[in-house]
Chain A
Amino acid sequence: MHVAEKLDTDLKELVVKDRLQGAPVMLECSDIKKVYPTKKGDYVVLEDLQLNIREGEFISIIGHSGCGKSTLLTMIAGLNGISGGQIMVDGAPIRGAGPDRAVVFQSPSLFPWLTALQNVMIGVKQVFPHASKKQKLEICKYYLNKVGLGNDFDKKATELSQGMQQRVGIARAFALKPKVLLLDEPFGMLDSLTRGELQDVLLEVWQREKITAVMVTHDVDESIFLADRVIMMTSGPYAKIGDELIIPFERPRNRIDVLEHPNYYDYRGYLIDFLEG
């Protein structure tokens, strides 16, 4: 890793104390290639992309708009076809979309004719058909409460603000108990202060189950605060993984402590240099 070259030596020790040491690989992307046919010929968005993520790891992917990070995410989600290479989750190649790779979309995409509870319930019914009605209800209420909507179960999706809708989106994804949680710039549409609130909410729910998570974002501070590892993608065409940065901050993470950490701005500078350079 390039981190150790540029930072203090005591950081090297932190890197070794990697909490995920020994964890099995959950998500494996090998030789990924994505081609879009256009009028002027084939446009190769991604080529020769390799990515391995271990179980319980939280990865954030940063890069410029249009570099293909969303494309990669939708390919892992199964909503986008793969032109070459293979994506394996938990040892098996993926086939189409599924709740094992739950997605939190950029726009909440709640069904506006349903209430918050019903939106989560529709997913719960799909993955827990063997559960009793009471259990299903408990699952929905548990996650909605965790994201801070304990009083808003029966509000129609249209009566909730953008931030609250996105909370339901998070609850809906977690309630599916996915193997991999995929987040596609989930807070991009929110103002930077609501974004902070929702980042805390996300970590709060994630903390319990430590689901393998991949989050695409363009906000450098967000990626440092949330992730164990920040993956930097080069710009398209022919985009691939450019660089990696391990974030050794201990969990659970407190925002002020993270901001005050002596190396915070070094990490931040490293990422900004990558984006600007």
Chain B
Amino acid sequence: MAFLELKNVCKSYINKGITTQVLTDINLGIEEGEFVAIVGFTGSGKTTLINLINGLLEPDSGEVLLKGKPVDGPGPDRGVIFQNYSILPWLTVYQNIKLAVDEVLPDLSKKERDAHIRRYIEMVNLTHATDKRPAELSGGMRQRVSVARALAMSPQVLLMDEPLSALDALTRGTLQKEIINIWSKDQKTALLITNDVDEGIIMADRIIPLKPGPNATLGPEFSVNIPRPRNITEINKNSTYKKLRNEVLEYLIEVGSTRVQNDGVEYLLPDLKPVMPGRIWPGKRKKSEKVKYF
């Protein structure tokens, strides 16, 4: 029996009398300590899937089981990291994490809790920003707070809903490494939702594509048999990596190509030469950066 299991899960939405079947027959089993990545298209129902696992939504049919028991509403045993950080802007980093820890570990003494919080702040390399507010932090740092908060709750399962999508490429790479470092210390069960295949390969043990909706189902599984730790420059030379990457990408291209829309109507392009219109703005000079009107 798997640690986290989804059996024949279906979910639909009703909007203005029209039923949209978002997810159909989702079957997923995640073993304890496994890191699984689900790669999907935008709008295919990835967020719905995460919300079914963390208990914010209930499936129409099928079961969502954690350690054999059905999931009943949200709870700290499933820690979630969202795309838009969701940290409270009027609290400092320390206070944000403290809020979660106080909820989950009320039995610990104040000192123990303090140590617990600081340990996780240290884990995400934010010790220098312990007492700063979110407005003073960059996007990457805010996401680290989110990670620390989720981990500090000692969840059984870590759910990540496109956590790094909103960050620039450099920060994204750095945070990928950090999350994997942290994960390898505790080896928690983790589920990552992403739209970047490379991110999935770097971080996960298994990659499962989510086909585009409606009626989205999970595609075939791809095992990532590349030893950890995985370094992005070195992995490029690994033949297993190349083969796997191509396999996943080609599968996604095939599945995604059914989405292209075109009628087959042909229009003719008149053969004309373009003309440079009008005069440029008054007062525009090479040196000025801004154009002032007058």
Contact = CB atoms under 8 A, between A and B. Distances in A.
Interface of A: 64-65, 80-83, 95-100, 126-131, 135, 138-139, 141-142, 145, 148, 150-151, 176-178, 190-194, 196-197, 218-219, 255-256, 259-260, 265, 268-269, 272-273, 276
B274 interface: yes
B135 interface: no
Nearest to A95: B280
B41 A191 contact: yes
A150 to B, nearest CB: 5
B256 interface: yes
A193 B285 CA distance: 42
Contacts of B259: 197
A197 B196 CA distance: 14
B contacts with A: majority SS = loop
A99 B265 contact: no
Nearest to B238: A265
A96 B280 contact: yes
Given A151-B263, A255-B253, A80 B289 contact: yes
Nearest to A128: B272
B125 to A, nearest CB: 19
28 contacts: A81-B287, A81-B289, A98-B276, A128-B274, A130-B272, A130-B275, A131-B272, A138-B267, A138-B270, A142-B268, A148-B260, A151-B263, A176-B274, A177-B272, A177-B274, A190-B42, A191-B41, A192-B196, A192-B197, A193-B40, A197-B256, A218-B169, A256-B250, A259-B250, A260-B246, A269-B236, A272-B236, A276-B233
Contacts of A265: 236-237, 242
Contacts of B236: 265, 268-269, 272
B294 interface: no
Contacts of A83: 287
A99 B233 contact: no
Given A255-B253, A268-B236, A193 B274 contact: no
B182 to A, nearest CB: 21
A97 B278 CA distance: 11
B151 interface: no
B284 A135 contact: no
B162 to A, nearest CB: 9
A81 to B, nearest CB: 5
Nearest to A126: B277
A127 B41 contact: no
Nearest to A190: B42
Contacts of A269: 233, 236-237
Given A191-B195, A265-B237, A272-B232, A99 B274 contact: yes
Interface residues on B, range: 35 or more
Interface in B85-124: none
B288 interface: yes
Interface-central residue, A83, A128, A192, A196, by most chain B CB under 10 Å: A192
B168 interface: yes
Nearest to B212: A193
A151 B261 CA distance: 9
B256 A193 contact: yes
Contact of B277 (A99, A190, A218): A99
Interface-central residue, A64, A131, A177, A193, by most chain B CB under 10 Å: A193
Contacts of B233: 269, 272-273, 276
A83 B287 CA distance: 6
B269 interface: yes
Contacts of A190: 42
A97 B280 CA distance: 8
Contacts of A191: 41-42, 165, 195
Contacts of B274: 99-100, 127-128, 176-178
A233 to B, nearest CB: 14
A135 B268 CA distance: 9
Contact of A64 (B42, B170, B262): B170
B272 A196 contact: no
B281 interface: yes
Contacts of B232: 272, 276
Contacts of A131: 270, 272
